[in-house]
Amino acid sequence: MKSKRGFTLIELLVVTVIFGILLIVGTNLFFQVVLSANKASTDADLRQNASLVIERISRDVRGSSCLNITNGSKDLNLYQSSDCSGTAIVYRLGNNVTVGPPGQTVLSTPKANFSNSAFSDTNPTSNGKAVVVTLVVSASGDRYDFQGQITETQTISVRNGNF
């Protein structure tokens, strides 16, 4: 009798096919996990940008005495005087969010796009007027594999204010 040494060609092919299937399944699973992590990271970045901008606008709106919305609901002008005179703090919505004067300070990161955002006013309430800030933030740039978009809306009451 001859002793067997090694594997037959069929055995090697079967093992190779099984290993290939497992490798394909493992690779697909890995890429799904990476894409999910990128989506979660993108959403977190967008929410953080929106929260920062809304928090800053809220603080300034509550501290103002007069405000008006101009430039097709893209500019929010905040005044310390009740007759809307003097120097205004101007929030401008575009690809990014800027605030000024003095100078234009960019509040958002370059990867976040705010171009579909808007300011609008509300009807009088028991505590005065309010402004509705609707931020539509989308991811842009090379960093994101996932192109995300979120919408944050907040109504901010103006203390002792006029429109």
Q: Does the pLDDT at position 6 exceed 90?
A: no
What pLDDT, on the 0 to 100 scale, is given for residue 128? 43
What pLDDT, on the 0 to 100 scale, is given for residue 141? 54
- Please give the mean pLDDT across all residues of the chain: 82
* CA proximity to 137, closest of 118, 155, 116: 116
Q: Does the pLDDT at position 133 exceed 80?
A: yes
Q: What is the largest CA-CA distance in the chain?
A: 110
Spatial distance between the Cα atoms of 46 and 135, rounded to a whole number of angstroms: 10
pLDDT tens, residue by residue, 80-108: 887 778 888 889 888 888 888 756 788 88
Strand, coil or helix: what is 96? coil
- With left for phi above 0 and alpha for psi between -120 and 50, is residue 86 left, alpha or beta? left
47 or 104: which leads in pLDDT: 47
- Are 137 and 50 a contacting pair, CB within 8 Å? yes
Residue 146 pLDDT class (50, 70, 90 cuts): low
Spatial distance between the Cα atoms of 83 and 41, rounded to a whole number of angstroms: 44
What pLDDT, on the 0 to 100 scale, is given for residue 87? 84
